[in-house]
């Protein structure tokens, strides 16, 4: 007897091997590991930043929480990963990626480009880590937004407040619920 054509719709969503959905918590854990790896290997924080951070901390009342987001897609998995932080923290992250000291000028476009690049690097690390679970993953393009993306009630989400070096930020993962 042949299985019905829509049998995949009713398959369990616990694993991604053989075409299943990867649990959102696993995406977040992998994303967090990628962020830790990025801090260890690619970001260069200004050693003087700790003193400057006290003064920058006064800017922590700045409105908004800008961030960069990127989609990771396959026939079986479609998630969006994002990293967001207060504007002062975004500037610190941009400086760390660019290897700039706190006293060096930093244009707003460089913050946007740097945060988008950080997200692109992180998404590439997540994709590489998940390749054994789903070998058909593809990356979208990074998108920078002024505030965190609000997801609807039909979405599954997970997030974690983390420190990347001295920078407080939030890692976010979300996806739309699949129809049963």
pLDDT, one tens digit per residue, over 110-164 is 999 999 999 999 999 999 999 999 999 999 999 999 887 777 778 899 999 999 9
Prediction pTM value:
0.81
10 lies in some domain: no
Q: Is residue 26 part of a domain?
A: yes
Would residue 6 count as lying in a domain? no
CATH code: domain of residue 79: 3.40.1550.10
Please give the residue that has the higher pLDDT: either 47 or 41. 41
Is pLDDT larger for residue 92 or for residue 18? 92
- Whether 28 maps to a domain, the answer reads yes
Range of the domain at 42: 15-176
Give me the residues paired with residue 175 across strands: 156
9 is a domain residue: no
pLDDT digits (tens, 9 = 90+) for 103-124: 899 999 999 999 999 999 999 9
159 located within any domain? yes
User: Does 1 reside within a domain?
Assistant: no
Write the DSSP assignment of 32-69 as a string of letters.
HHHHHHHHHHT----TTHHHHHHHHGGGGG-S---EEE
Flag whether 4 is in a domain: no
* Alpha-carbon separation of residue 2 from 5, 6, 100 (angstroms): 9, 11, 62
Residues 77 and 138: their CA atoms lie apart, in Å, by 10
Number of structural domains, the chain?
Answer: 1
Residues 6+ apart with CB under 8 A from 112: 144
């Amino acid at each position: 007897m042949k299985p019905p054509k829509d049998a995949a719709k009713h398959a369990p969503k616990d694993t991604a091997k053989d075409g299943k959905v990867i649990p959102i918590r696993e995406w977040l854990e992998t994303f967090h590991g990628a962020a830790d790896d990025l801090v260890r290997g690619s970001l260069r924080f200004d050693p003087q930043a700790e003193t400057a951070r006290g003064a920058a901390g006064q800017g922590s009342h700045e409105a908004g929480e800008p961030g960069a987001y990127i989609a990771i897609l396959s026939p079986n998995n479609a998630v969006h990963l994002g990293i967001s932080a207060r504007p002062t923290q975004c500037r610190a992250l941009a400086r760390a990626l660019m290897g700039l000291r706190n006293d060096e000028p930093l244009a707003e476009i460089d913050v946007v480009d740097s945060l988008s690049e950080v997200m692109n690097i992180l998404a590439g690390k997540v994709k590489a880590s998940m390749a054994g679970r789903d070998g058909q993953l593809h990356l979208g393009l990074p998108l920078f937004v002024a505030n965190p993306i609000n997801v609807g009630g039909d979405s599954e989400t997970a997030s974690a407040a983390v420190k990347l070096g001295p920078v407080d930020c939030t890692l976010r993962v979300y996806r739309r619920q699949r129809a049963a």
